[in-house]
Structure 1
Amino acid sequence: MAVRDASDDPLAGLSADELLRVLGHEIGNLVTIVSGYGQMLRDHWEFLPDDRRLDIVGRMNRQVDQLRVLIDNFQHLRWLTGPNKDLQALGPTTDIGNLLEALADDLVPLADDHPLEIAVEADLPRVVADRASVQHVLMNLVVNATKFSPADAPIDIAVRHDGDAVSISVTDHGVGIPPDQRDRIFEKFVRLQDGGVGVGLGLFICRALVEAMGGHIRADEGADGGARMSFTLPVAK
Structure 2
Amino acid sequence: SQQQMQLVRAVAVQVANAIGNAQLYFFIQDQAEQIGSLLREEQKEAAKNEAILESIADGLLVADDEGRVILANAALGQMLSLQDEDLIGRPINEMLGIYGTSGLHWSKTIENWAHNSDQVEPFALLTDDLHVENRIINVRLSPVFNANDFLGTVSIFRDITKAVEVDRIKSEFVSNVSHELRTPMTSIKGYTDLMLMGAAGGMSDSQRHYLTVIKNNADRLKSLVDDLLDISRIETGKTKLLRVYLDIGDVVNDVVNGHLRGRRQDAGKEMDITCDIPADLPTVSADKEKVTRILTNLVDNAFNYTPAGGTIRVSARNLGDVLAVTVADTGIGIPAEHLDNIFDRFYRSESEEVRAVPGTGLGLAIVHSLVEMHGGTMDVQSEQGKGSRFTFTLPFEPVVKGQTAELVTREIGNG
Helix, strand or coil at the partner of 2:315: strand
When Rg is computed on C-alpha atoms for both structures, the one with the higher figure is: 2
One-letter identity of the residue aligned with 2:288: R
Question: For each residue in 1:157-212, what CA deviation from the matched residue of structure 2 results, as whole angstroms up to 9, or x when unmatched?
Answer: 11111231111111221221123322310011111342422221111111000110
Q: C-alpha distance in 1, partners of 2:346/2:247?
A: 33
Helix, strand or coil at the partner of 1:93: strand
Structure 1 residue 202 corresponds to structure 2 residue 356: no
Structure 1 residue 221 corresponds to structure 2 residue 398: no
Query: Do 1:86 and 1:213's aligned partners in 2 also have CA atoms closer than 8 Å?
Result: no
- Tell me what 2:262 maps to: 109
Give the C-alpha shift of residue 125 in structure 1: 1.4
Structure 1 residue 79 corresponds to structure 2 residue 240: no
Helix, strand or coil at the partner of 2:365: helix
Residues 133 and 217 (structure 1), Cα distance of their counterparts in 2 relative to 1, 3 Å cut: same
Query: Do 2:298 and 2:390's aligned partners in 1 also have CA atoms closer than 8 Å?
Result: yes
Residues 81 and 148 (structure 1), Cα distance of their counterparts in 2 relative to 1, 3 Å cut: same
- Tell me what 1:180 maps to: 337
Gapped regions of structure 1 (runs ≥ 5): 1-12, 46-56
One-letter identity of the residue aligned with 1:76: D
Q: C-alpha distance in 2, partners of 1:119/1:60?
A: 39
Helix, strand or coil at the partner of 1:204: helix
- Tell me what 1:212 maps to: 373
Q: C-alpha distance in 2, partners of 1:120/1:174?
A: 22
One-letter identity of the residue aligned with 1:73: D
TM-score, normalised with respect to structure 2: 0.42
One-letter identity of the residue aligned with 1:214: G
Helix, strand or coil at the partner of 2:276: strand
Question: For each residue in 1:72-104, what CA deviation from the matched residue of structure 2 results, as whole angstroms up to 9, or x when unmatched?
Answer: 4233123213335563xx543211112322333
Question: For each residue in 1:4-34, what CA deviation from the matched residue of structure 2 results, as whole angstroms up to 9, or x when unmatched?
Answer: xxxxxxxxx894546847x96xx8xxx7xx9
Residues 80 and 124 (structure 1), Cα distance of their counterparts in 2 relative to 1, 3 Å cut: same
Q: C-alpha distance in 2, partners of 1:162/1:65?
A: 39
Query: Do 1:170 and 1:230's aligned partners in 2 also have CA atoms closer than 8 Å?
Result: yes
Give the C-alpha shift of residue 67 in structure 1: 6.0
One-letter identity of the residue aligned with 2:260: L
One-letter identity of the residue aligned with 1:183: D
One-letter identity of the residue aligned with 2:252: L
Give the C-alpha shift of residue 124 in structure 1: 0.7
From 154, 159, 166, give the equivalent of 2:323.
166
- Tell me what 1:100 maps to: 252
Helix, strand or coil at the partner of 2:285: coil
Q: C-alpha distance in 1, partners of 2:237/2:299?
A: 29
Give the C-alpha shift of residue 109 in structure 1: 2.5
Query: Do 1:110 and 1:139's aligned partners in 2 also have CA atoms closer than 8 Å?
Result: no
Q: C-alpha distance in 1, partners of 2:391/2:214?
A: 30
Helix, strand or coil at the partner of 2:244: coil
Residues 144 and 64 (structure 1), Cα distance of their counterparts in 2 relative to 1, 3 Å cut: farther
Residues 92 and 134 (structure 1), Cα distance of their counterparts in 2 relative to 1, 3 Å cut: closer
Query: Do 2:243 and 2:287's aligned partners in 1 also have CA atoms closer than 8 Å?
Result: no
Q: How many residue pairs are counted as aligned between the two chains?
A: 205
- Tell me what 1:189 maps to: 346
Residues 83 and 221 (structure 1), Cα distance of their counterparts in 2 relative to 1, 3 Å cut: closer
Structure 1 residue 147 corresponds to structure 2 residue 308: no
Give the C-alpha shift of residue 149 in structure 1: 0.9
Query: Do 2:174 and 2:229's aligned partners in 1 also have CA atoms closer than 8 Å?
Result: no
- Tell me what 1:52 maps to: none
Q: C-alpha distance in 2, partners of 1:81/1:170?
A: 26
Bigger drift between 139-148 and 189-198 goes to 189-198
RMSD of aligned Cα (Å): 3.9
Q: C-alpha distance in 1, partners of 2:263/2:215?
A: 9
One-letter identity of the residue aligned with 1:141: L
TM-score, normalised with respect to structure 1: 0.68
Residues 108 and 216 (structure 1), Cα distance of their counterparts in 2 relative to 1, 3 Å cut: same
